[in-house]
Amino acid sequence: MQFKRLVALAGIALVLFNCKNEDSAIDNKKDIAEIVVEEKVLEFGFNLNDYVVKRDTIRKGDSFGEILGRNKIGYPKIFEIAEKAKDTFDITRRLIPGKPYTLLCSKDSLEIPSTFIYQPNIEDYVVINFKDSIEAYTSKKPITYVEKTATGVIENNISETLEQKGISQVLAYKMADDIYAWTIDFRRLQKGDRFKVIYTDKYISDSIYAGVHDVKAAYFEHNGDSLYAFEFVTDSIKGIKDYFNEKAKNLRRAFLKMPVKFGRLSSRYNLKRRIAYYGNRVRPHKGTDFAAPVGTPIMATANGTVIESTRRGGNGKYVKIRHNDTYTTQYLHMSRQTVKKGEFVKQGDVIGLVGMTGNTGGPHVCYRFWKNGRQVDPFKQKLPEAKPISDSLKIRFLEHIKPIKQQLDNIFFLEAEPKKVETTITVDPIL
């Protein structure tokens, strides 16, 4: 009997020991769970778990001082922060209503801010850190580029074809304006025309779609012609790139047809025109007017150097560009200029915005064109083709496009159903 009691007691002890071990295991699991919860949440280079995070947007009338003042920072400290940060980013003047900002605050009852982060756009951000010493710097969120391919067969227009496939309309604009502007009239595409394209989409922090970044190559069948286009950098210092066909012929002309993408020709060059603004008297009109809403981007029609960016008399705010010894262009009545004298601009760069400054009866850009020092009608000029590729670059180009052309040729048209895009993720090498 004694032996049986000892065995029973031993069994109870074993059960209790196992239960204790199970309780310990549960406690360990809780610890593990807590560790998982405390995993770092990184944004803007900070572990957000270390702070109380407050997010808001700039309100109309907000200033840097008012935002920090609402969050328990005294004005002597605010002044000191603004003074030390202004060489990096003048936070007192450049806050735009509607743009987001983030405050990183202490994890206590006071929740005093130690860092202010402002986002002027989805890619860039400004950090002003005043936890210990004051430092200010600008940075960018991680950028990811995703290479994709698409095909399409035209039923009505290219925009409708891309929309049916869920592809950004920006791709249509790039093909129409950047690549085939001088070889295909996209207003006169025919049913049955078809295309293949290799392009790159841009994402911020892997998840925020930032639009079509660029087009690597394209192929278009139109009017019985097979039109290849390959992107190639011709001047890495100035960042100039063009599109060439498979024989290295440049697809663009030296000048764009018009300085605005979405505008209408409202008045042509006319030396005998009567102008209502001047009482219908005959006054030479040496410009070509393109009507567009205020704020419409105005583009440089060709590569060149800005020789004037100022405001003068009836011209209002304007920009003048020298393209070479032969050609100069001018863009009048801007609401504001976005370039300065001495800057080099590329064809298609935005140089200002449509406005109504100077003598004008409505919002438009007056486009003036000089050839050999004399103002002429750009529509009556035989404009030069873009500068041909050099012999040394041509060899490099032909080698460069071999694998790309093979990739393009191996994309098959799917007329019955949308083509599924193939993706390859590449991270921005700068970061």
Amino acid letter, 84 = K
pLDDT at 238: 74
Q: Is residue 37 part of a domain?
A: no
- At residue 217, does pLDDT exceed 60? yes
The domain in which residue 322 lies consists of: 264-380
What's the confidence (pLDDT) of residue 416? 44
Res. 41: pLDDT tops 60: yes
Report yes or no on 362 lying in a domain. yes
Tokens representing residue 170 in the block: 């920006």
Q: What DSSP character marks residue 276?
A: G
Per-residue pLDDT, 266: 83
Domain boundary among 364, 380, 396: 380
Which tokens in the block code for residue 366?
């007056």
pLDDT given at position 87: 84
What is the overall mean pLDDT for the chain?
84
More confident residue, 307 or 426: 307
Residue that wins the pLDDT comparison between 126 and 14 = 126
**Are residues 217 and 273 located together in one domain of the fold?**
no
Nearest to 227 by CA among 190, 183, 189: 183
Question: In this structure, is residue 240 part of a structural domain?
Answer: yes
Mean pLDDT of 402-429: 66
Q: 368 near 377, Cβ under 8 Å?
A: no
Quick one: pLDDT at residue 333? 95
**Residue 33 in this model has a pLDDT that exceeds 90:** no
Average pLDDT value for residue range 211-218: 92
The verdict on 349 and 375 lying in the same domain is: yes
What CATH number corresponds to the domain at position 116?
3.10.450.350
Taking 60 as the threshold, does the pLDDT of residue 40 lie above it? yes
Residue 15's pLDDT is: 46
Q: Which band of pLDDT confidence, cut at 50, 70 and 90, is reported for residue 349?
A: very high
Q: In Å, what is the CA distance from 52 to each residue of 71, 106, 112, 317?
A: 12, 6, 9, 47
pLDDT, one tens digit per residue, over 249-279 is 988 888 888 899 877 888 887 777 666 666 6
134-139 average pLDDT score: 92
Shared domain check, 335 and 240? no
User: Does the pLDDT value for residue 428 go beyond 70?
Assistant: no
pTM, 2 dp: 0.64
- Examine the domain organization and report whether 282 and 344 are in the same domain: yes
pLDDT of residue 387: 74
What percent of the chain is modeled with pLDDT above 90? Answer: 48
Most confident of 101-105, 142-146, 167-171, 411-415: 101-105
Q: pLDDT value at position 430?
A: 39
Give the model's pLDDT for residue 298.
Answer: 96
Element (H, E) at 226: strand 225-235
> Of 105, 140, 175, which residue is a domain's last?
140
Boundary residue ending a domain (107, 140, 173): 140
Structure tokens at 66: 């008012």
